[in-house]
Structure 1
């Protein structure tokens, strides 16, 4: 299942029907290729987790850098610009990607 929601946790898209183990990217490609599938408003991005790649309309954290919320809660300080960017986005991305 793929669920997409706004920052205030309102679902704007749900794609049920995927069972078992399947790559996140495959489900996303299916969602955006459907006739009435997932549409990203022009100039906007959906925050996704590291299981996805950066592409038009989707913004993933920097790979190979820390981005999990529990690491920041333990007092870890970013050691690179990429980690700083990842540390800035997790509260929002966690809402959007929980359970992926």
Structure 2
């Protein structure tokens, strides 16, 4: 629930891939290996999954886990905006100042998350999202290898879940 990289200055309506491409060309930013997009044409949103409607394929299971991780990210932004009123409304500061304000709020948010035993604004139970150690991605390119790797990871996750789920 902490921010590891802040790139302030883009409009909220900017396409994610364009912002990512910009971040990759700046110094100091890299995407951890194992960063995958969800499968298209498969169930994705957590509301589509429930005890009576479990994932039925490896791709659906992967998408469910991807959606859970995305919810944690959205929660971090929600807590950030709840904590700092200046981030909730329209700003009339110059763009450069706005970027500095956003960065300062993120830094203070991270400091609070590290120092306070109980964060009064945090209504979310601690969630542990494990990162992937290893190499990093420094550029974006289309590759069948990434698709095959995602498929293999999804299948392994699915098989492990099915073994645990059906063992009950």
| TM-score tier after normalising by the smaller chain length | 0.5 to 0.7
Structure 2 equivalent of residue 14 of structure 1: 6
Secondary structure, aligned partner of 1:59? coil
Gaps of 5+ in 1: 1-8, 46-57
Question: Which has a greater percent of helix?
Answer: 2
Bigger shift: 18-27 or 82-91? Answer: 82-91
Shift of 1:74: 7.1
Secondary structure, aligned partner of 1:62? coil
CA distance in 1: counterparts of 2:62 and 2:19, whole angstroms: 26
Shift of 1:11: 0.8
Q: Classify 1:91/1:25 alpha carbon distance in 2 versus 1 (closer, same or farther; 3 Å).
A: same
Shift of 1:75: 3.6
Gaps of 5+ in 2: 78-168
Structure 2 equivalent of residue 40 of structure 1: 31
Q: Classify 1:27/1:74 alpha carbon distance in 2 versus 1 (closer, same or farther; 3 Å).
A: farther
Bigger shift: 78-87 or 24-33? Answer: 78-87
Question: Which has a greater percent of strand?
Answer: 1
Shift of 1:20: 5.0
Give 4+ residue runs of structure 1 displaced > 4 Å after superposition. Answer: none
Q: How does 1:1-100 map to 2 (within 5 A)?
A: 9-19=1-11, 21-36=13-28, 38-41=29-32, 44-45=33-34, 58-73=35-50, 75-96=52-73, 98=74
CA RMSD across the alignment: 2.2
Q: TM-score, normalised by structure 1?
A: 0.61
CA distance in 1: counterparts of 2:61 and 2:31, whole angstroms: 26
